[in-house]
């Protein structure tokens, strides 16, 4: 019987050890998988970036090359699109993980800002001999502008400010190339673009095809309705220094920020690493822009941290925030003095509470010890025949009843009462045995006849 119990005990121990071993192996495997997943997984991201001749696409291709060179675990595929609206749609549908976008175009719920890439400037050009003086004169005119994308959306926002609608214009061209050609061939009265200053196409149009830039001077008023709009200036000589300068004076205009967006589902660490490369390797990004697009290189210097005050309403991606706030003190560091005071007070209160708790427990134990001492005293008194066994039982029951009352009144603890109950039962058995012996002895005593 004893051997069977021992073998069962050993078998149970073996099962426990086996279970612990399996658990340990499972934990090691899980940690190993997590380590490999975090450090060796290749992240493949699609970046939608507008037309191939646009600054954001050219900049995105340079970013792709530098990111993949610096971190081969991040693979970026830059895809040409029809502009901001399509980029945002693809980001929202999960067809892309990264996107460039104008800040004035509403983004979807999953969009998060990574960085501000550069300012996109509104540029309105007409022929040098045109009688068009400002935006209000464009009503009924032919506009070299494709009816898709962010810059078309921006044009209609300005038109709305001047009390005009889409139907008040004739739009020429089914893409940017056709629109540019229409302006060159005098098939359009004006051309509107949202591009970085110094844009190669605009330079060509104003220098080689007799273009003249117009001011957009109501930026402050437009910002009331469109918070992403910012007042800007096209500096004198931006497109030619002399004979004559283009423009001949500083021209007021409007700018919106070109954003790099990421889906909120993109791993924060991946976004953090991309942000770090954008911020720390600007020169390498600029060097990876082909010579034919040298005018885009200066835009790299404009890459900045996103803010919550730029009028976009788009939250900042957690990965970007982690990079830009890496040197900022944590909440604990900033509030160390207050937290130390709170901790000191908490420790003092905790110590006081612990002392009170200990005092109450000692008091309960003393009360329990007193009852147990009385129980032991009664047992001795009965054994030494100082009191009759029946009296001892009665007194013992009184002690137990008092202990039960003290338990209800929380004068003794549950644990102490269990110990006391065991003492009570043992003592009662002893006294009851004494009573039985007394009764038996009494029955065996001879009775003297009367």
Whole-number pLDDT of residue 122:
97
Residues 76 and 283: their CA atoms lie apart, in Å, by 19
Q: Which helix (H) or strand (E) holds 364?
A: helix 336-383
Helices in 71-186 by DSSP H: which ranges? 84-93, 149-161, 176-184
Report pLDDT for 63.
96
Give me the DSSP letters along 181-214. HHHHTT--SEEEEEE-TT-HHHHHHHHHS-EEEE
What's the pLDDT at 442? 57
pTM of the model: 0.64
Residue 71 and residue 277: Cα distance in Å, rounded? 9
Per-residue pLDDT of the chain (450 residues; tens, 9 = 90+): 444 444 444 455 555 556 656 666 666 666 555 555 555 689 999 999 988 988 999 999 999 999 999 999 999 999 999 889 999 999 999 999 999 999 999 898 999 999 999 999 999 999 989 999 999 999 999 999 999 888 999 999 999 999 999 999 999 999 888 999 999 999 999 999 999 998 888 999 999 988 999 999 999 999 999 999 999 999 999 999 888 899 999 999 999 999 999 999 999 999 999 999 999 999 999 999 999 999 999 999 999 999 866 567 899 999 999 999 986 555 665 566 777 778 787 777 777 777 776 777 777 778 778 888 888 888 888 777 788 878 878 888 888 888 888 888 888 888 888 888 888 888 888 887 777 666 555 555 555 454
Residue 141 to residue 386: CA distance in whole angstroms:
126
| Measured CA angle at 249 (ends 244, 252), to 5 deg | 140
Q: Where are the domains of the chain?
A: 43-328, 336-444
Cβ–Cβ under 8 Å, residues 67 and 74: yes
Which helix (DSSP H) or strand (DSSP E) does residue 318 occupy?
A: helix 318-324
Spatial CA neighbour of 98 closest among 82, 120, 113: 113
Two tokens, residue 267: 């791993």
Let me know: does 393 contact 428? Beta carbons within 8 Å: yes
Two structure tokens written together for 321: 């925030």
Question: Quick one: pLDDT at residue 230?
Answer: 93
**By three-state DSSP, how is residue 70 classified?**
helix
Question: Which CATH class name applies to 43-328?
Answer: alpha beta
Sign of torsion over alpha carbons 175, 176, 180, 181: negative
Which of 150, 147, 146 has its CA nearest to residue 106? 150
* Beta-ladder partners of 121: 195, 255
Beta bridge partners of 47: 78, 98
pLDDT at 441: 57
């Amino acid at each position: 019987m004893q051997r069977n119990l021992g073998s069962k005990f050993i078998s149970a121990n073996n099962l426990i050890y086996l279970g612990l071993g399996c658990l340990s192996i499972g934990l090691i495997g899980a940690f190993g998988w997590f380590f490999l997943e975090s450090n060796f997984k290749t992240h493949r991201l699609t970046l939608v970036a507008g037309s191939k001749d646009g600054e954001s696409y050219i900049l995105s291709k340079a970013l792709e090359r530098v990111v993949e060179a610096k971190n081969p675990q991040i693979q970026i595929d830059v895809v040409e699109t029809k502009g901001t609206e399509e980029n945002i749609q693809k980001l929202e549908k999960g067809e892309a993980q990264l996107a460039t976008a104008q800040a004035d175009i509403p983004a979807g719920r999953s969009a998060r800002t990574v960085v501000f890439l550069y300012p996109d400037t509104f540029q309105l050009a007409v022929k040098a001999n045109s009688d068009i003086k400002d935006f209000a004169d464009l009503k009924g005119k032919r506009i070299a502008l494709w009816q898709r994308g962010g810059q078309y959306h921006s044009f209609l926002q300005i038109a709305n400010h001047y009390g005009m609608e889409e139907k008040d214009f004739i739009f020429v061209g089914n893409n940017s190339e056709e629109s540019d050609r229409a302006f060159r061939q005098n098939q359009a009265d004006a051309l509107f673009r949202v591009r970085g200053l110094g844009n190669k196409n605009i330079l060509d149009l104003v220098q080689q095809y007799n273009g003249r830039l117009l001011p957009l001077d109501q930026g402050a008023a437009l910002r009331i309705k469109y918070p992403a709009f910012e007042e800007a200036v096209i500096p004198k000589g931006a497109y030619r220094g002399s004979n004559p300068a283009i423009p001949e004076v500083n021209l007021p205009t409007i700018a919106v920020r070109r954003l790099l967006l990421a889906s909120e589902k993109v791993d924060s660490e991946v976004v953090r690493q991309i942000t770090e490369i954008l911020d720390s390797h600007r020169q390498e990004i600029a060097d990876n822009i082909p010579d034919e697009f040298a005018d885009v290189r200066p835009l790299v210097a404009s890459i900045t941290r996103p803010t919550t005050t730029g009028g976009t309403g788009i939250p900042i991606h957690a990965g970007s925030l982690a990079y830009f706030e890496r040197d900022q003190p944590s909440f604990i560091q900033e509030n160390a003095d207050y937290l130390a005071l709170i901790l000191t007070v908490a420790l003092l209160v905790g110590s006081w509470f612990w002392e009170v708790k200990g005092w109450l427990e000692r008091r309960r134990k003393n009360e329990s010890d007193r009852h147990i001492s009385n129980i032991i005293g009664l047992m001795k008194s009965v054994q030494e025949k100082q009191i009759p066994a029946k009296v001892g039982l009665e007194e013992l029951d009184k002690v137990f009843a008092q202990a039960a009352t003290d338990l209800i009144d929380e004068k003794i603890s549950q644990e102490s009462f269990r110990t006391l109950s065991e003492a009570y039962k043992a003592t009662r058995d002893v006294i009851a045995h004494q009573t039985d012996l007394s009764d038996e002895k009494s029955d065996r005593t001879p009775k003297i006849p009367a």
